[in-house]
Amino acid sequence: MARRLGKKKQKRREEYMLKEQKKVGDVVTDERTLQNLRKLFSRGMVSEIEFLIATGKEADVYVAKSGEALKEQFVALKIFRIETSSFAKRIDYITGDPRFGKIKSDIYNIALTWCKKEYGNLKIAYDAGVAVPKPHGFVGNMLGMEFIGDEHGTPSKRLKDTELKDPEKVLTKILENVKRLNAVNLVHADLSEYNILMKDGEPYLIDMGQAVMLGHPKYRDFMERDIINILYHFRKKYGIEKDHEAVLKGMLG
């Protein structure tokens, strides 16, 4: 059972939390997002925001020091934007997913659904043995997950920026992960050399928000596109030739 803090300690803790929140002030300008950040601090998932490691159209990712609720030293904190984002252009990834019913069209609710969806996708994938960051939890438009990097807080490089010693082996591992996803009726739907991190020779699939379940009308199309993108990268950079139709057939059976 968590101990209650005295009023003085509680005040110092809240002041500290507000100080940490200022580090993400350039992105976090909405009061609802600030409230969600406070909840992550109070739940012990995050204790300190370190620095920005990735930025995108829908979200930014920060390295944060883990709170008392987690055993890891660092946690990756993904903050989905609720003011300026391109979620509206990607609504098909949600509306076609059988897990979600009718979604309100305002950006805030789309962002919250997207965050919940990425957490759910990561959990399904992680439980199935797919090499993805372990999801720790989410609050509103904020997702905490395993940090893929070293003990100093340096994030692992993307596949795009890595020179592989054994590209054949890495490609095989990536395709094995894609097959494991398909075995639990999930497809990444945006897989490329930009969405794979390399750590100790192992490829980790990231950015799982747009992943969809079997039953989505474009499930097979997304699967084929993922395979084409990965095979193109390895063909272009390493000269490895594989027929995407044969690989796709092996995935879908």
In the annotation, is 207 catalytic?
yes
Residues in the chain: 253
| Beta-carbon-side half-sphere exposure of residue 91 (alpha carbons within 13 Å) | 12
- Among 190, 200, 221, 226, the one annotated catalytic: 190
- Among 161, 207, 221, 226, the one annotated catalytic: 207
In the annotation, is 221 catalytic?
no
Beta-carbon contacts of 141 under 8 Å, excluding residues fewer than 6 positions away, are 32, 33, 36, 79, 80, 81, 82, 108, 111, 112, 115
Name the residue type at position 17: M
Distance CA 58, CA 211 (A): 15
| Beta-carbon-side half-sphere exposure of residue 85 (alpha carbons within 13 Å) | 25
Which amino acids are annotated catalytic? 190, 207
